[in-house]
Amino acid sequence: MRSDVIRVYKTVHTWTGIVAGLLLFIAFYAGAVMMFKDSLTAWTTPPAASATPSVPIERADALIERTLAAYPAARKLLNLSLVDENRVRLSWQPSPGRRWHAWLDDQGQLHATESRPSDAARVIDLLHMTGGVPGGYEFGVGVMGVVSLLYGLALVSGVIVLLPTLVKDLFALRIGKNLKRMWLDAHNAVGILSLPFHLVMALSVVAFGLGDYIYGAQDKLIYDGALKPMMAAQNPYFAKAPAHLNAAGERAPAMLPPAQLLAKVRERAPHFEPTALRYRRAGEPGATVFVAGDDARFLARDGGFALMDPASGAFLNAQFLPGDGGGSNWSAATSAFYALHFGSYGGAPVRWSYFFLGLAGAFLFYSGNLLWIESRRKATRRDGVQLAQRRSTFVMAALTVGVTLGCICGISLTLAAAKALAGRVGDLHAWHVGIYYTTFVAAIVWAMARGAARASVELLALAALSTAAIPLASVAGWLAPSSGLWFSADAHAIGVDVGAALGASCFAWMWHKTRQRVASARTDSVWSLRARPARDEEARSSVDEERRGAR
């Protein structure tokens, strides 16, 4: 391939990566953490909430009836979780940050208790979906859709740039004094080896983030306004109940027991394993029940689900019920697309693979920025003479350090604070959001004020300490239960403690190596404690002076 074409694609790759890289780092790092969302939920759930009694499934209909009579607010969305094949737990959420649990004792008496579960995992999930962009969920997802377009362009251009030396350089990792060469080798290897994963991520996020805009354009230009009604009819969340249930003033018929509903689901899809029944408008006209579950044989959207009429047991929408043979090719393809993005298939091996691929993706964007910053040093050096880096390079380096380490510290701190906040504050969501963004913004300001070299050492120390605070909170709860903290013996919760301890050790090692690096770096590098940024005018005059001297 011609060298001038390669240069063009290299420029495209560089600038699309620079523009999109920092937001993608946040999305990938948070996404890697979210591969263990259930474990994080178990870690942040107080023992009182997790110890809510379960009831036999044969008594679930009586529990639902008694609960709806005593707590009408539960009709809006009632959740019946299957502990196992024979026992269930009932809960509902009347408002964000509040959850009620109800059960029947051996004498048939109804009991209910309120808990305020932490939604730290949900906050981290929102960071994954929006890249932390403020302005609301819809706006953030739309921005990430545009960012993913740039991301896809960077992937394609990067492959084209690397093609001439692909075979020779793919597995080459030249470790030595030339750190830029080592970072480039690592960046290229990670990018090529995880290319299929990144292509799936890029394409799926474009579909998620820009889907409404794409469908809107298709609706007007191709389908003449018929597309949106057709999609709404296929969406299980908007499916209509039978007409007799929607008749004005008509009394809602009695709902079937949950055991009968589950029997109908198993009859239609024998290998489907239900995990929860979510009732909307329970006991009212137009009620629906959303049956969630999983079938390990299929790539399924969110594990698979069906929408049913709780009175008759009729299936209102079973297109996303894996294994029933009634799903369309379109719904099967859509389910597979979602599953490939979220890793909701294959169990623990896939979950761990996605975790490491997510961290590798975060490294890819961070290392891309580092390579651009280091290339500025070469560009401003003439005839072996060291010149002061431009201020813009220092700003980019500080921004890279502040955003990446601010994201890591913010996620660790808001997660570590979950146990300390439980039962002490009213709006847990606001606290978790506040902790993350305060830490994130403070890290950026700190990096700008201190410079990339100093801030990288200091913020890595904070990353190690804040991540270590997660298992330390559990240790404190074990040693001093009166503190209000707690230690959970649940395997998922212990896994969070062990994983965080390993993460803190990695950040501590990175802190040690970075401290050595900034102390010995060349003075013309932004990663040197002795480096001094030059004003743009000063840098240009230095270059011009060197050129005149060379003549």
Least confident of 180-184, 197-201, 440-444, 477-481: 180-184
What pLDDT shows up at residue 290?
A: 92
Q: What pLDDT, in 10s, does the model give residues 6-21?
A: 777 677 777 777 878 8
- The two three-digit tokens of residue 237, written as one number: 């969340």
What pLDDT shows up at residue 301?
A: 56
- The two three-digit tokens of residue 56, written as one number: 């036999």
Q: What pLDDT, in 10s, does the model give residues 42-57?
A: 899 888 766 678 899 9
pLDDT exceeds cutoff 50 at 510: yes
Q: Return mean pLDDT, the chain.
A: 81
Q: How confident is the model at residue 546 (pLDDT cuts 50, 70, 90)?
A: very low
Q: What average pLDDT score do residues 275-288 get? A: 90
Q: What average pLDDT score do residues 367-390 get? A: 65
Give the rounded percent of residues in the chain with a pLDDT score beyond 70. 76
Q: What average pLDDT score do residues 265-294 get? A: 89
Contacts of 310 (CB under 8 A, 6+ apart): 255, 256, 261, 279, 282, 287, 288, 289
Contact between 435 and 413 (Cβ < 8 Å): yes
Residue 40: in which H helix or E strand, if any? helix 37-44
Least confident of 274-288, 290-304, 367-381: 367-381
DSSP 8-state assignment for residue 482:
G
Environment class of 492 (CB within 10 Å of its CB; exposed 0-12, middle 13-18, buried 19+): middle
Rounded to whole angstroms, how far apart are CA atoms 173 and 178? 11
Which position has the higher pLDDT, 517 or 121? 121
Q: What pLDDT, in 10s, does the model give residues 457-485?
A: 999 999 999 999 999 999 999 999 888 88
Cα–Cα separations (whole angstroms), residue 330 to 135, 255, 426: 33, 32, 44
What pLDDT shows up at residue 28?
A: 94
Helices (H), 277-390: 329-342, 347-379
pTM of the model: 0.82
Rounded to whole angstroms, how far apart are CA atoms 33 and 123? 12
Q: What pLDDT, in 10s, does the model give residues 92-127?
A: 988 777 889 999 988 889 999 888 778 899 999 999
- Closest by alpha carbon to 120, among 473, 477, 498, 533? 473
What pLDDT shows up at residue 126?
A: 93
Q: How confident is the model at residue 233 (pLDDT cuts 50, 70, 90)?
A: low
Q: How confident is the model at residue 370 (pLDDT cuts 50, 70, 90)?
A: confident
Contacts of 287 (CB under 8 A, 6+ apart): 241, 245, 252, 255, 279, 280, 281, 309, 310, 311
- Cα angle 304, 218, 226 (rounded to 5 degrees) comes to 75
| Most trustworthy range by pLDDT among 178-187, 241-250, 401-410 | 401-410
pLDDT exceeds cutoff 50 at 501: yes
Contact between 460 and 514 (Cβ < 8 Å): yes
What pLDDT shows up at residue 474?
A: 94
pLDDT exceeds cutoff 60 at 68: yes
Contact between 20 and 154 (Cβ < 8 Å): yes
Q: What pLDDT, in 10s, does the model give residues 302-323?
A: 667 888 999 999 998 887 787 6
| Most trustworthy range by pLDDT among 50-59, 81-90, 390-399, 527-536 | 81-90
What pLDDT shows up at residue 98?
A: 81
Q: How confident is the model at residue 395 (pLDDT cuts 50, 70, 90)?
A: confident
pLDDT exceeds cutoff 50 at 247: no
β-bridge partners, 103: 111
Contact between 285 and 250 (Cβ < 8 Å): yes
Q: How confident is the model at residue 551 (pLDDT cuts 50, 70, 90)?
A: very low
Q: What pLDDT, in 10s, does the model give residues 192-207?
A: 778 888 888 888 888 7
Least confident of 66-70, 163-167, 270-274: 163-167
